[in-house]
Every structure is written in C-alpha cells, then in structure tokens.
Amino acid sequence: MPCIGVLGGMGPAATVDFMAKLVALTPARRDQDHLPMVVANLPQVPDRSAAILGRGPDPLPSLQRGIDLLNHSDVGVVVIPCNSSHHWYAQLSASSQAPILHIAQACVRKVPDGGRTCVLATRGALASGFYQRELAARGIDWEIPDGEREQPLVDETIRLVKAGQPEQAGRRLQQMLAHAHGRGVEVVIMACTELPLAASHADTHGLLLIDSTLELARSTVDYALHAGWNHC
C-alpha cells in the first residue's frame, strides 16, 4: 500500500505541526478518508545548520538511514519538514526510490510577485543558498537578515522553539519582524519549520508570512490525493 513518508524529528514539534496541518488540509469526514503516512521521527540526526557551516558532524548518514527506513516501508513519496536538511537534497534523492518533494520549491511557489521579500532561516540554510536560488529562478529579489542585529533573533527564535518555549520564541520573532517591517519588507518567508510555531505567538506587523511547513503540507496532500492514497 503506497503512502506518504515523512522524515521528521528535526525538530519533533515541527513534525507534529506538519502532521497537524496535513490532517487539517485533508478533506475527510471519517478516519478512512484520511491519508496513510509513515513517519520516521529521528531527532538524533546531528544539527544540520552546524554541519553546513563546518562546525559539527555530518548528518547525511543519519538522514539516509531515515530515507532507507521509509523506502523499506513502501512509501510512494518522501517529505522532510526541515528546511536545512534540503542542503543534502541531491544525495537523499539519489538514494531514495520514492521521489522527495522539495520544501523550498513548495514554498517559493507561493511567494507573490513584487513586494520586498526577506528569507528567515538557519545560518546553515542561508549559507547553502537553496532558497535564494529558487527565488532567483522565479526572478524574485530577496534579502536576508542583517548578520549582527537580526540573525541572532532568528537563531534564538529557533532555539527556543526546539527547547519547548514557543511563547518566548514568539517575542524574538516579533522583534525580528519589527526590524524587517521597519526597513520596508512586505513578505517574509519562514524558511525554517520552527518559525511558524513562534509566529502564532507574535504580532506579525501586517507582513505577509509564507509558512514553509504549511506549503509542504499542501504539496504533500495534493500529491497524495492525486495518487488516490485516501482510497487504499
């Protein structure tokens, strides 16, 4: 029976948020209308951002073990609700029988044309540059937080969500959004799956926030409904 494969645990709260969004987006009146899914929730995968920056162990072997586990469970598609992991997208795709949906592609598709756009992500994901490449391919100008004053607020937001303190994370994110709003940003891409968990506790200053978790969930539901996995 084919189903959705989720490589999660990075972090675990973000995986739960992804699943909650996926369930809410599925048109269903009873259990049996929902989409089958196998979730490999593997929080012990080494820190992705640190590894990209050359400051920590390589997470690729752990990520590949997760991909293997999902493929052995006969999943028909794989999704990874962790943006930074997509630094290794090519290697993971090469080792997966099931196609892997790319979170940045799902997310950037929903960015409107025009409007100053800022990408919030881990330092590793920004250094990797896959969001910037997707945006450039669509002809969208992008900016990223100032490294000294703003990026530490993004780092702290992410750390606090991972530590189970979403309200405090929301206050940091709100400060970050105030900076962005102050310099004329109109669209903010939450290109880290911890950020939406903080955003629900923040005044977003009227900015248009694009939620990478939600957009990956939408793409996943579209894929699975098109494949008819709700009628297995």
* C-beta of 11 vs 118, nearer to a copy of itself: 11
- For a copy of itself, which stretch binds (CB under 8 A), given 123-131, 156-164, 184-192, 213-221? 156-164
Q: Apex CA 151: angle with CA 162 and CA 200, to 5°?
A: 50
- For a copy of itself, which stretch binds (CB under 8 A), given 141-149, 160-168, 177-185, 212-220? 160-168
Distance CA 105, CA 112 (A): 14
Q: Which of residues 16-55 bind a copy of itself (CB under 8 A)?
A: 16, 19-20, 23-24, 26, 28-47
User: Where in the sequence numbering do the catalytic residues fall?
Assistant: 82, 192
Q: Which ranges of the chain does DSSP label H, i.e. alpha helix?
A: 12-25, 48-52, 60-72, 89-94, 103-108, 123-128, 130-137, 151-162, 166-182, 195-199, 212-227
| Residue in the structure block whose two tokens are 């997760």 | 66
Minimum CB distance to a copy of itself, residue 28 (Å): 7
DSSP code, position 92:
H
**79: nearest Cα among 58, 43, 61, 104:** 104
Minimum CB distance to a copy of itself, residue 214 (Å): 15
* C-beta of 50 vs 101, nearer to a copy of itself: 50
* C-beta of 177 vs 197, nearer to a copy of itself: 197
Burial 47-81, CB ≥16 within 10 A → b, else e = bbbbbbeeeeeebbebbbebbeebeeeebbbbbbb
Residue 228 interacting with a copy of itself (CB under 8 A) = no
Minimum CB distance to a copy of itself, residue 169 (Å): 13
Minimum CB distance to a copy of itself, residue 160 (Å): 10
Quick one: how far is CA 21 from the chain centroid?
A: 12
Binding site residues, a copy of itself, CB under 8 A: 1, 3, 9-13, 15-16, 19-20, 23-24, 26, 28-47, 65, 69, 72-73, 159, 162-164, 232
